[in-house]
Structure 1
Amino acid sequence: MALAAGTAHAARPMITDDARIVDAKACQLESWVKDDRDSTEYWALPACNFTGNLELTLGGARTREGGHTRTTDVQVQGKTLFKLLEPNGWGLGLAAGTVQRPQVSSGGRDWYAYVPASFSFRDDAVVIHANVGWLREGETRRDRLTWGLGTEARLGTRTWLITETFGQDQGRSYAQVGVRHWLLPDRVQIDTTYGNRFGNNGEERWFSLGLRLLSPPFLP
């Protein structure tokens, strides 16, 4: 989401968020590598649900660029649900957080909030996600409207096709397509994506490869 709307990440590999959270008393780790023309980002976002309806995330990214690797993003986020997503139904939530960028000497902290909505069809064979939100850019001190629209489509018992577009109220939007596969259902997932900015002739294209781990409930 650093591309278009802060750094609010959905369940890998989507950037458009879903109206879901980690199971009560359980945790997850989402990690991935994102490679573009000029840099390589290494992300890790651990998250836990201590109360049953509040998912807390604390993590960030290190970026290799110009032969140097440094911490470029530190993210804290909370997410809750107003309506649980069920098969052939819909869900609604709210997420808010902040991203600190240590490499920015002044005003390197962004604030954001957004509403994720999800709609299930054909017993969860197709799920559509829509986001609308707000981003306060610390460096420019400007407020932005953010948005996203994405789809998950089941290709097999363990494999999903991901397509989405997202952006802000200014500038060209982005698009991404990818595949998610469960090595161990609901516990170990791998994924890969390709993305680009519309009308940019590949100048901002990227590839990503991710690993997602989910635990059973274990927290007190």
Structure 2
Amino acid sequence: MTHFQYSDRFGTAYLPLSIVLSLLLCTLATSAHAARPMITDDARIVDDKACQLESWVKMNRGSTEYWAMPACNFTGNLEVTMGGSRTHDDAVGTFTSDQIFQGKTLLKPLETNGWGAALTLGTDRHPQSGSGRDLYANVPLSFSFNDDKFVLHTNTGWLREQVTKRNLLTWGLGSETQLTERTWLIAETFGQNHGKPSYQMGLRHWLLPNRIQIDTTYGNQFGSSTSQRWFSIGLRLLSPPFLP
């Protein structure tokens, strides 16, 4: 998964539809990862010399986000992500965008009935605000149980917000539970050392095993009414190795 830095803002850079469609045509997959729709990251990366495209729509109260996050593994142990989202404010009818650049490497590969660790470093730029780039780092740990039928993920990270000049501690706790051969239940909670944490749960399903995946989730902030809730629906594609 993912690039998320657990900020109160859920949006990143907009990619033109032509680019998104081109990436969709170029990407078909090989192996399963946690990834979408989880915000809590996992200790896995895209296969060596392969790419993936995660895309989704996130519907909040008062706004809608359109995401496209392509990533490739060029070296065998470095997954590079460049992408983002465009967010539409329903009240004023305007769009805002952010731009994410992220690198992720494995410190210890995740083994069946074992554990794994990774390190993620990234930036999040906000062109409309003129505030520069937020910086973030995250250490995902993953634990496999029952032959990968249940996987637990924990995250500990740091976020530097340029607007507020604050350094924040970020965290996440999530799980994947296999329900059928193609369907998984995901559940997680995540947040930072300021403000209330949030939670999310949903389903992930392989339309074509290890090739094309769809997902849907419901999320909200603990102790909040419906004003903070969201729904999402996503599509994930992965490629076989093809990079030089």
Q: Judge conservation of contact 1:191–1:209 (CA < 8 Å) in 2.
A: yes
Distance 1:150 1:33, change over 3 A: same
Select 1:172's aligned residue among 170, 181, 196.
196
Deviation at 1:185, TM superposition (A): 1.4
Query: Aligned equivalents of 2:10 and 2:133: distance in 1?
Result: 11
Q: Quick one: percent identity of the two aligned structures? A: 65
TM-score computed with the length of structure 2 as normaliser:
0.86
Contact kept in structure 2, 1:18 and 1:129, CA below 8 Å: yes
Q: Which moved more, 1:115-124 or 1:5-14?
A: 5-14
The answer to whether structure 1 residue 4 and structure 2 residue 7 are counterparts is: yes
Partner of 1:20: 44
Gaps of 5+ in 1: none
Q: What's the RMSD between the two structures over aligned residues?
A: 1.8
Q: Which residue does the alignment assign to 1:70?
A: 95
Normalised TM-score (structure 1): 0.95
Higher strand share: 1
Q: Distance in 1 between matches of 2:147 and 2:221?
A: 32
Trace 1:31-110 onto structure 2 (pairs within 5 A).
31-65=55-89, 66=91, 68-105=93-130, 107-110=131-134
CA distance in 2: counterparts of 1:97 and 1:58, whole angstroms: 10
Counterpart CA distance in 1 for 2:8 and 2:146 is 30
Using the TM superposition, give the Cα deviation of residue 70 of structure 1 relative to its aligned residue in structure 2, in angstroms.
2.9
**Corresponding position of 1:208:** 232
The structure with the largest helix share of the pair is 2
Change (3 A) 1:148 1:8: farther
Q: 8 Å contact 1:62–1:69 — kept in the other structure?
A: no
Counterparts in 2 of 1:11 and 1:118: CA distance versus 1, 3 Å: same
Contact 2:102 2:123 in 1 (8 A): yes
Runs of 4+ residues deviating >6 angstroms: 5-10
Take 1:13 and 1:30, find their aligned partners in 2: how far apart are those partners?
A: 9
